[in-house]
Amino acid sequence: MLTPLLTTLLVDLAGSAAMGRLMAVVGLPIMLGPILGPVIGGIVLEYASWRWIFYINVPIIILATILIAWKLPTFEAKNRQARFDVVGVTLLAAISSTIIYGIVQASTKGDFTNATTVAYVLAGIVLMVVYGVYAHFKGEHAILPIRLFTRKNFTAAMVGMVVGGVATNGAMLLLPLFFQNLRGDSVIVAGLSLIPQGVGMLVARPIVGKLIDRIGARYVTIVSLAITLVGTIPFAYFDGKTAYWLVAVILFVRGIGAGGILSPLMTDAFVGGDKRDSGAISVASRTFQNIGGAFGSAVIATIVAGYMTTHTSIAAGYQTGFAWTAGLSLLIIIPAAFLTNHLSKK
């Protein structure tokens, strides 16, 4: 609930003219996650109970609550006659949770054809159809109006977020395991080893934001994908003896590319939309991003798990996972072709 609300308020305040830079600013604090998260998580797991992974949120939430009450301005309601779409929210929650659960079970069981995955994904698809019928009759009062999908760049952005989960979350899942299981590093060292990737994301974010506003989302996404591949393909050949400095350089390059994939997709979802739709677009973006993240992690985890059951080489298993990550990431080119392109207008 927090993320769509944050995005909606910022979009309403800034407007669509500087949407790319807005998303870059919003993403800067988020980029601290890949830098600090693995390190803090490693320290917690090394020296304290795993329960502190959750306890550590308590002081952060208290501080955030104080700052919100103190600093956040009061926003006027967009439509005081609007009513909470209980049925629509319930259906969207059911769709995302069933599909995500089914996909995650694929990684647990090692294949996508197991009964649990098939049943839950089919249930999610059926619920999507039900929501489509419901939203058609609900019209403008639905939490996610169907008419939004008539804009090709919005639909492309949603598809891109699902496919983009492979490029972002797939490798993110493998990298800590690469350092711990293949190189024998502790959780702290593994966390420290991932810092170059986070720094790359941090460096790329403001540049990506300006480029989105200047040339549109299409080529920013495609170039970011190319850079991500440069930072991913070498891992298909890395093993436990690869020099740390080389791994760090490649991770930095990968961070630059990965930091520019989701931002243009999220930004382009708002381009061409009405200000009254900002809330619905934020909800849609978050929903598809969550499904894409689970999809990307589950696909790569399933591939690696399946390989490990028939082969004994751990290194080859991770190399296979990174190779599939690079190959499947290429699918982003298809939705990217339908994103906005300001260069053609010049």
In one-letter notation, the amino acid at residue 242 is: T
Other CB atoms within a 10 A radius of the CB of residue 204 amount to 23
In one-letter notation, the amino acid at residue 20 is: G
Judge residue 129's burial from the number of C-beta atoms within 10 Å of its C-beta, 0-12 exposed, 13-18 middle, 19 or more buried: exposed
CATH number of 2-75+151-345: 1.20.1250.20
Determine the pLDDT at residue 292: 86
With 0.85 as the threshold, say if the pTM is over it.
no
List, for the chain, all residue ranges whose pLDDT scores fall below the cut of 50. none
Determine the pLDDT at residue 27: 64
In one-letter notation, the amino acid at residue 281 is: I
Determine the pLDDT at residue 79: 66
Determine the pLDDT at residue 67: 92
Instruction: Give the Cα separation of 81 and 310 in Å (integer).
Output: 60
> In whole angstroms, what separates CA 342 from the centre of its chain?
25
Domain residues of the chain, as ranges? 2-75+151-345, 86-142
Determine the pLDDT at residue 131: 94
Determine the pLDDT at residue 17: 61
